[in-house]
């Protein structure tokens, strides 16, 4: 699941180049999470165990790093705890659990595409809950995204995808939408990196309560996992998904948004499903059909339209105010 932080004022070209590089690396790190994690599940870990280990390790790294480098970001007023709890439970724990359950049952590329329908859910929330009138362009984006989803799921074959994996993927999209909406509200009063850190801590506590990491058999952690031509121990991949695809990805993404407008970063963030699909094909042998690949392009095109229109509307509504824009965080 990409990253959501406030946009800043337009940056000089040199700073934009730096921000673009950072967000590209961050998106690649986020996109690799499913491909890195799936071999650990095939080796015997449950999705809950992988999610617990990933979030717990990332929470420890972020908490220590922020505590040492920028401790003021960890200060929390009592009134902020409800928001941080919702952010951690839905935006961190919910997203990771649903995504890994989906990855365990579906190709990685399809699992992440299901999660990337979250911009459509946010637009529908704005229309039917907030009663915001949506422009025709956004409805076009929603239609494209739904058409792409139908192609990916191959609904004419009676939904050939695993039903539990499909529902979990859509659950990840719901939690991802909550992540963006709660984060949008919280970023008006808190530094994004501090909110991400506490959200990771809350998510770690919640997921570890469901599946304590210490219940994982040590022998299983030392077992080899099939990762392309390599067979590293399971624990190596668990650490990689926690540090590379979570802690580092969040840190780079947050830094990137200091140099790059969020509207630009949100589009670059669409690199994530491309990375996920490509790495799963290269390392796990998971290939999508031509129809599903076409559906992926249509879905991502629709999501891009929705994101861009949303960012433009937000900027017009609040000129000069930092605005959040989604870049997922699986």
Q: What is the pLDDT of residues 92-118, one digit of tens each?
A: 999 999 999 999 999 999 999 999 999
For the segment 32-60, the average pLDDT, to the nearest whole number, is 96
Answer whether residue 2 shows pLDDT above 90. Answer: no
Cα 298–chain centre separation:
20
**According to the model, what pLDDT value does residue 185 have?**
79
For the chain, the domains span 2-328
For the segment 20-46, the average pLDDT, to the nearest whole number, is 95
CA distance 27 to 321: 25
3-state helix, strand, coil in the chain (%, to 5): 75, 5, 20
**According to the model, what pLDDT value does residue 328 have?**
52
The angle formed by the CA atoms of residues 217, 171 and 113, to the nearest 5 degrees, is: 95
**According to the model, what pLDDT value does residue 320 have?**
37
**According to the model, what pLDDT value does residue 325 have?**
42
For the segment 302-318, the average pLDDT, to the nearest whole number, is 75
Residue 114's nearest CA partner among 288, 232, 236 is 288
**According to the model, what pLDDT value does residue 4 have?**
44
For the segment 57-68, the average pLDDT, to the nearest whole number, is 95
Answer whether residue 253 shows pLDDT above 90. Answer: no
Q: Percent of the chain beyond pLDDT 90?
A: 62
Q: Is the pTM of this model over 0.75?
A: yes
CA distance 241 to 39: 11
Which SS3 state, helix, strand or coil, does residue 130 take? coil
Answer whether residue 8 shows pLDDT above 50. Answer: no
Total residue count of the chain as it appears in this document = 330
Residue 203's nearest CA partner among 179, 170, 171 is 179
Residue keyed to tokens 């000089």: 12
CA distance 192 to 109: 28
Mean pLDDT over each residue of the chain, to the nearest integer: 87
Pair of tokens at residue 245: 């695809």
């Amino acid at each position: 699941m990409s990253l959501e932080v406030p946009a800043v004022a337009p940056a000089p070209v040199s700073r934009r180049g730096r921000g673009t590089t950072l967000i590209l690396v961050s998106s690649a790190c986020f996109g690799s999470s499913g491909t890195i994690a799936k071999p650990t599940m095939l080796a015997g870990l449950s999705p809950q165990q992988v999610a617990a280990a990933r979030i717990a390790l990332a929470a420890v790294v972020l908490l220590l790093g922020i505590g040492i480098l920028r401790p003021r970001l960890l200060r929390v007023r009592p009134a902020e705890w409800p928001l941080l709890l919702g952010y951690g439970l839905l935006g961190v724990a919910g997203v990771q659990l649903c995504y890994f359950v989906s990855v365990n049952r579906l190709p990685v590329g399809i699992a992440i595409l299901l999660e990337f329908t979250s911009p459509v859910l946010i637009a529908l929330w704005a229309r039917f809950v907030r009663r915001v009138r949506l422009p025709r362009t956004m409805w076009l984006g929603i239609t494209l995204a739904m058409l792409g989803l139908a192609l990916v799921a191959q609904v004419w074959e009676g939904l050939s995808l695993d039903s539990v994996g499909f529902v979990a993927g859509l659950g990840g999209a719901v939690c991802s939408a909550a992540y963006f909406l709660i984060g949008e509200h919280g970023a008006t009063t808190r530094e994004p990196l501090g909110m991400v850190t506490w959200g990771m801590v809350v998510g770690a506590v919640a997921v570890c309560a469901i599946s304590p990491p210490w219940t994982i058999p040590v022998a299983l952690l030392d077992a080899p996992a099939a990762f392309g031509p390599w067979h590293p121990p399971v624990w190596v991949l668990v650490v990689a998904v926690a540090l590379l695809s979570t802690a580092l990805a969040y840190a780079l993404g947050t830094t990137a948004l200091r140099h790059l407008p969020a509207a630009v970063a949100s589009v670059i963030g669409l690199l994530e499903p491309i990375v996920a699909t490509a790495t799963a094909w290269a390392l796990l042998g998971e290939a999508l059909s031509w129809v599903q690949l076409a559906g992926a392009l249509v879905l991502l095109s629709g999501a891009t339209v929705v994101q861009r229109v949303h960012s433009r509307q937000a900027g017009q509504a609040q000129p000069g105010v930092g605005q959040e824009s989604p870049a997922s965080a699986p």
